[in-house]
């Protein structure tokens, strides 16, 4: 006895929970929370360091930010939870609607005389039936409902608009999830001639992504506008297997990635490394910033570059050890007297400051992209179908001495009323 009672309340709970899960009210709540999180995420800097937060906010606010993961709001557990609830809500709601759409067609005519009095129909003589049907025209599909009633119908697809839109949102979410779980985002910095078989991951705590093949940069080129801004930059890339055979070759430009086995390479940035050429004691040293000439008679190190030292042009600061401690000197490329210095009795000269470009490539694999892109296409199609087409139905019901013509439209009723008026013009 009590068991059945428990069952009943249990069932009622399940029913209630389900009703809540398909409700539009839940949609409104989750969407609003997603929007609210996004607002917070756009205002609070994302992924900054502890120091940066403390320079902006109080200690208390910082703890709050950390507690709710607002420093990485779009990847916080509760944002995922929100998205999960939203997706479930959308899925259930779409299934429910799908069932209604594919279920037994609602062919009942409803209240035709009510439509007539609302201005969506008219009454005429049965003799005019042929004329009415001619005026309805071939754009309507003719369905015989009963002996007496015929239905003329157009834009049935319009009823599918909402389902198509909702399915497309699910597809985009699914694509995002797939990309998140099975994809990666990484980057590579290569100088012409360099080769790599792994890329640096963008995810913190994950250092390298092994590509399964080798990538070689064979060239990099940048063209500038007269103003000095970059106009175009491009890298020549080769994909190689372990034995060094070239599998694919191509040029990557901004907006024109290269793909190999689902991994995409995008041109994202470039930079220049300065190379300083020194001579001393008959030897030549080519050094980048931070590098040291260890085997020089007096070892020295390139510490710092400046494009302009006190208006005297580009220069480089060099450090070496003296018995009294570390010492630093500026070598200036454009000033004769400052091109050479004596370090503890050893003469060192700066020959030139040369540059070497490196290219910055974004490397990503996102198996979710096809789902996302088809979601996009579907969403636009769905919006068009839902908002800009209408399901119109015109019933022609013949009696012994009257013919009732009346109809309904799922949107844009004013235009439909005019259409009905035209149908009845002169005969209603």
Residues that bind ligand HEM (CB under 6 A): 22, 24, 27, 89-90, 93, 162, 165-166, 169, 386
Does 170 contact other proteins by CB under 8 A?
Answer: no
Residue 90 contact among ligand HEM, other proteins, none, beta carbon within 5 to 8 Å by kind: ligand HEM
- Long-range (24+ apart) CB contacts under 8 A made by 158-161 are 158/385, 158/386, 158/389, 158/390, 158/391, 158/410, 158/411, 159/101, 159/391, 159/410, 160/101, 160/382, 160/385, 161/382, 161/383, 161/384, 161/385, 161/386, 161/387, 161/389
CA-wise closest residue to 151 among 196, 107, 189, 116: 107
* Nearer CB in complex with ligand HEM: 18/335: 18
Residue 30 vs 235, nearer CB to ligand HEM = 30
SS3 state of residue 43: helix
Give, to the nearest 10 degrees, the angle between helix 129-136 and helix 413-424: 140
Which CB sits closer to ligand HEM, 39 or 182? Answer: 39
221 is an interface residue for other proteins by CB under 8 A: no
User: What burial letters (b/e) apply to 58-76, b meaning 16+ CB within 10 Å?
Assistant: eeeeeeebeeeebbebeeb
Of these, 8, 16, 19, 25, which contacts other proteins (CB under 8 A)? 25
Which residues touch 34 (CB under 8 Å, ≥6 apart)?
79, 82, 83, 86
Of other proteins, ligand HEM, none, which one does residue 243 interact with (CB within 5 to 8 Å by kind)?
Answer: none
Using CB distances below 5 to 8 A depending on partner kind, what does residue 35 bind out of other proteins, ligand HEM, none?
Answer: other proteins
For residues 31 to 70, the per-residue mask of contacts with other proteins, x marking binding by CB under 8 A and - elsewhere, is xx-xx--xx-xxx--x------------------------
Residue 257 contact, options other proteins, ligand HEM, none, Cβ 5-8 Å cut-off depending on partner type: other proteins
**Chain residues in the site for other proteins (CB under 8 A):** 24-25, 27-28, 31-32, 34-35, 38-39, 41-43, 46, 74, 176, 185, 225, 227, 229-233, 253-257, 264, 266-268, 362-364, 366, 369, 372-373, 376, 379-380, 383-384, 387-388
């Amino acid at each position: 006895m009590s068991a059945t009672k428990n069952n009943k309340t249990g069932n009622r709970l399940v029913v209630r929970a389900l009703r809540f899960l398909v409700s539009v009210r839940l949609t409104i709540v989750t969407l609003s929370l997603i929007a609210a999180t996004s607002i917070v995420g756009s205002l609070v800097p994302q992924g900054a360091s502890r120091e940066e937060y403390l320079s902006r906010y109080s200690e208390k606010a910082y703890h709050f930010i950390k507690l709710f993961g607002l420093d990485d709001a779009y990847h916080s557990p509760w944002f995922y939870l929100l998205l999960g609830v939203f997706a479930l809500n959308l899925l259930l709601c779409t299934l429910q609607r799908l069932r209604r759409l594919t279920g037994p067609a609602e062919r009942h005519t409803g209240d035709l005389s009510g439509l007539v009095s609302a201005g969506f129909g008219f009454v005429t003589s049965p003799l005019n039936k042929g004329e009415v049907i001619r005026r309805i025209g071939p754009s309507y599909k003719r369905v015989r409902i009963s002996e007496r009633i015929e239905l003329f119908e157009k834009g049935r697809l319009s009823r599918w608009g909402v389902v198509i839109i909702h399915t497309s949102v699910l597809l985009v979410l699914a694509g995002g999830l797939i990309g998140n779980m099975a994809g990666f985002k990484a980057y590579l910095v290569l100088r012409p001639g360099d080769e790599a078989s792994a890329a640096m991951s963008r995810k913190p705590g994950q250092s390298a992504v092994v590509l399964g093949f080798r990538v070689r940069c064979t060239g990099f080129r940048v063209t500038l506008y007269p103003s000095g801004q970059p106009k175009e930059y491009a890298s020549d890339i080769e994909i190689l297997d372990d034995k060094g055979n070239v599998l694919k070759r191509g040029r990557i430009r901004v907006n024109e990635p290269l793909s190999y086995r689902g991994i995409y390479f995008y041109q994202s940035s470039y930079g220049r490394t300065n190379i300083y050429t020194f001579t001393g004691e008959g030897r030549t040293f080519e050094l980048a910033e931070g590098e040291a000439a260890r085997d020089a008679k007096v070892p020295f190190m390139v510490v710092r570059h400046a494009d302009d030292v006190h208006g005297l042009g580009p220069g480089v600061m060099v450090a070496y050890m003296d018995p009294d401690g570390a010492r630093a000197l500026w070598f200036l490329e454009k000033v004769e007297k400052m091109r050479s210095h004596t370090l503890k009795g050893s003469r060192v000269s700066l020959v030139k400051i040369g540059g070497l470009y490196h290219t910055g490539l974004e490397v990503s694999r996102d198996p979710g992209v096809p789902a996302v892109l088809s979601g996009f296409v579907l969403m636009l199609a769905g919006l068009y179908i839902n908002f800009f087409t209408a399901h119109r139905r015109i019933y022609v019901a013949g009696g012994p001495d009257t013919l009732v013509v009346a109809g309904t439209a799922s949107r844009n009723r004013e235009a439909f009323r005019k259409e009905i008026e035209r149908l009845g013009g002169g005969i209603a």
